[in-house]
Structure formats: C-alpha cells, structure tokens
Amino acid sequence: MNQAIKVAVLGGGSFGTAIANILATNGHNTTLWMRSVEHAATCRQEKQNNRYLPGYELDPRLNIGSDLVHAVKDASLIFISVPSHSFRQVTQDLKGIISENAFIVSTAKGIEPDSFTLMSQILEQELPNNSRGVLSGPNFAKEIIQHQQTGTVIASRDDKLNQLVQSVLSSKTFRVYANRDPYGVELGGALKNIYAIVCGMAAALGAGHNTQAMLLTRSLAEMGRFAQKMGSDPMTFLGLAGVGDLILTCTSDLSRNYRVGFALGQGKPLDEIVEQLGQVAEGVNTLKQVKHKAIELNVYMPLVSGLHAILFEGKAIQDVALRLMTGEQNHDVEFLEQ
C-alpha cells in the first residue's frame, strides 16, 4: 500500500461518507467533517451515518467531527462533498487554514445558483494557489459502501493530483480513472440530473424501452452540444462521467432526480415532491440555469426546454411530448463530418 496521508472529507452526506470510508479502510488518516455537531456525535456513537446510509457500519479508523480547522489542518488532500448551494461558503471557510500544497477535489454535482459557476471554477476563484480537480461518475453511495464494483473519474489538469487520488482511493471494489477535462467531467455530473428527471417522468407515464433508449441517446447529444459550447471536449461524455453516469441516474430509483421525475409523472406537485424527498435533488435547480444558459449560447436543447416548460411554465406533459416528437429532425450522431 502507498504511504498513508492525512485526508479530509468535508460533508456528511451519503457520498462524502462513502468516500471517507474507503480512504479510512485504505489506511489513510481520514476525517469526515460535518457541519452539525449533533450529527457528528451521533455518527461517532453509532459507528454509522444513519441519516444518509443507515445500516452500514463505518470503518472504526474513520474520524468524524465538526471542527473544520482540526479536520483540514496539515491535510494533503481535501474532498469537498457538500451541495452546490453551500460549496462557495465552505470553500471560503478554508482560506487561511489550509496549506497551499493541499490538493482540493470537488465531488459536488451541480452548478452554483444565479452565476452558472461550476464547483471547480469556485475553487479557482477562492483558492487559486491550490491544485484542484473533480471526482464524478456513476457512483451511488449506497452501493459503494456495500463494496459493489464501482468505477469513477478524477479529472484535473494536474497529473500529480490525478495520480494521488487514484492511489489513495483505489481498492478491490473501487476503480479510479483519470481525465484531463475537469469541466467536461463536471458538466456531465451536473447535466445528467436534468435528464434523470425526464426519464423518471417517462417511466411513470408507462414509456417503453424504445422511448427510454431514445431519451438516453438524445440526452447524451444535448449534453455534448452544451459542453462543447462551454469549452469542454464532447468526447468526455463517452466515458464514465458522461454516458456512464447518465445511464445510472436515468434508469434507477436510487437516483433522487429520477424519483422526482417519477413522482411528477404521477401528477404530484413539485414542491410536495422536494419536501418529501428530504435531500437535495440538484437537477431541479440545474434545469433553470441550463435553460437560460442554452438560450444565451444558442444551444439546441429540446429536452431541457420541454422539462422547463412542464415544471416552470405550466405546460401539460402530453403537449410537450407531442411537440418534442414533431419538432426539428436533425442528424443522429453529432461531431462527425456530415
């Protein structure tokens, strides 16, 4: 095993907990930081995170606390695993208390509200002297904690960061692939949440396999178009952080966004669905931002426009579906010479 290092994972949700548990199991001095003093104390006492991953015992070597300074002091590697709306504040809290030599990795799959800023861009703005990357892929925390075979992607322009994350996170059941297109990987993780809502809605309405296959492939086309306009490599979307995460999130009821879509397809109001969910469904907020950005960039995204019309413009699902099926018919595979 590689030399043990000190690692901090900021955020006591399901994914942060799962990543921290891998690191501790791999023998690294790992602290899982939670904002809530009470939640941290409960997790320490029960040796599990009953709020987000009930029933799964955590590695006894995992430190759990609510003191941010203690968690990140002298840490060589810091994962930030908080929702996108909290990301900037947590990042700002790190100023002056972390080493400039510390590597920072975002695992948040979202876009900052109002500014259309990716999490890695927030890191660039707030911690410009630290090397940074993003971790994303088809990764349900519940299956990671169960030690099911899982692949993920670490994306950074700093090869040393990629190599470090690969070395500390890899295990017999968790494989880490490297990528040098952080914005593309990050956009994949954010955008797929929108399409998970679409696919969940279609499933609730009784859509067949033909429909599901069409939705998945056209979702991938929209993601690639948008990413290219944002300066990313559309080929990134053929990897785990693109099509892999899209397939996972759009076909499983373990996905919060898929469950939101399914409930919408059953006729339930959005406010009620979000309240009952009890966790963040990033796709709802991401949808608003992507819709406006697509207009600004003149990117053709009919599925995004259709879902926005249903959720925020009072349009009927059946009318939107008909419009999608009778709209512009374009090329099947983009980014090929026509």
Cα 21 to Cα 318: distance, rounded to the nearest angstrom: 45
Point out the catalytic residue in the list 6, 73, 192, 288: 192
Task: Report the phi/psi class of residue 13: left, alpha or beta, with left for phi > 0 and alpha for psi in -120 to 50.
Answer: beta
Which residue, among 13, 9, 21, 12, has the nearest Cα to 280 in the 3D structure?
13
Cα 263 to Cα 7: distance, rounded to the nearest angstrom: 39
The pair of structure tokens assigned to 6 is: 């000190």
CB count in 10 Å sphere of residue 210: 8
Map residue 40 onto helix, strand or coil.
helix
Would you call 192 a catalytic residue per the annotation?
Answer: yes
The residues near 55 (Cβ < 8 Å, ≥ 6 apart) are 48
Cα 232 to Cα 146: distance, rounded to the nearest angstrom: 33
**Torsion sign (Cα): 29, 60, 94, 166:** positive
Cα 224 to Cα 334: distance, rounded to the nearest angstrom: 8
Q: Which residues are catalytic?
A: 192
